[in-house]
């Protein structure tokens, strides 16, 4: 082995040691939602709810939440200052990514307390995509219990809770079934969603929503 080759191999080994293992997501990842009603800062629990957090961050890192809306305000009948607001991609299939398995509260220990963020889903437990809810007041009915898988809470609001409360109080109407009367009449636009911790990891998938379709982008 030549002296030059030995030096090069030694430098390579030093670089590998310095690089260490592949970067991992921080235990807590903050995300800022810049909305037309004001900013909201979230702290996502990547340690206890890694799959759900990773799913949400895919939408953030890809820009799939930009230009979407908070569209639902579900107020509690007995106390309209409590309930939850819901936002995300709605029914825009152009932005959708494959779903991930449900991480129930019985597994993560993250309950639906006031300020918690939770993934919305259909009747199928493993069907969460790019829609989410933020609790205003505790909502234990959304936690897992015997015979009910519940929903996947995966973080909490750490800034801008007053924005969430204002959205809950906005005039609503329309909708059907369980959403009857709960659709925000003047939806709140999500101008930008940006992560504040860790490294963005875009999926590299196509972005067909950037091709404007007037009947979806109004």
The pLDDT tens digits for 141-152 are 999 999 999 999
In this predicted model, what pLDDT tens digit does every residue of 172-193 receive, in sequence order?
A: 999 999 899 999 999 999 999 9
Inform me whether the pLDDT recorded for 22 exceeds 60. no
Q: Is the pLDDT of residue 107 over 90?
A: yes
Closest CA to 60 of 82, 31, 80: 31
Query: Is pLDDT above 50 for 217?
Result: yes
Question: What is the pLDDT, as a whole number, of residue 24?
Answer: 78
Q: What is the pTM of this model?
A: 0.86
Please tell me the predicted confidence (pLDDT) of residue 148.
95
CATH level 3 topology of 23-210: Cyclophilin (2.40.100)
The DSSP-derived string for 124-158 is STT---SEEEEEES--GGGS-BTTB---EEEEEEE
Distance CA 206, CA 203 (A): 9
- Residue in 69, 88, 54 with CA at minimum distance from that of residue 200: 54
| 158 backbone dihedrals φ, ψ, rounded to 5° | -120, 0
């Amino acid at each position: 082995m030549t002296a030059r080759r030995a030096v090069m191999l030694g430098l390579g080994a030093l670089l590998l040691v310095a690089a260490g293992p592949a970067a991992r997501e921080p235990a807590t990842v903050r995300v800022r939602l810049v909305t037309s009603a004001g900013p909201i800062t979230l702290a996502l629990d990547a340690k206890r709810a890694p799959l759900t957090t990773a799913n949400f961050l895919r939408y953030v890192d890809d820009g799939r939440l930009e230009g979407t809306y908070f569209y639902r305000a579900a107020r509690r009948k007995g106390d309209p200052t409590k309930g939850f607001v819901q936002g995300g991609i709605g029914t825009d299939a152009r932005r959708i990514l494959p779903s991930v398995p449900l991480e129930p509260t019985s597994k993560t220990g993250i309950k639906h307390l006031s300020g918690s963020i939770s993934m919305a889903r259909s009747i199928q437990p493993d069907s969460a995509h790019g829609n989410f809810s933020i609790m205003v007041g505790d909502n234990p009915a959304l936690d897992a219990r015997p015979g009910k898988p519940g929903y996947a809470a995966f973080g909490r609001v750490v800034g801008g809770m007053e924005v969430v409360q204002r959205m809950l109080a906005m005039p609503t109407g329309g909708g059907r079934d369980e959403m009857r009367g709960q659709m925000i009449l003047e939806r709140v636009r999500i101008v930008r969603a940006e992560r504040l911790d860790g490294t963005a990891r875009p999926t590299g998938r196509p972005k067909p929503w950037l091709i404007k379709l007037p009947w979806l982008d109004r």
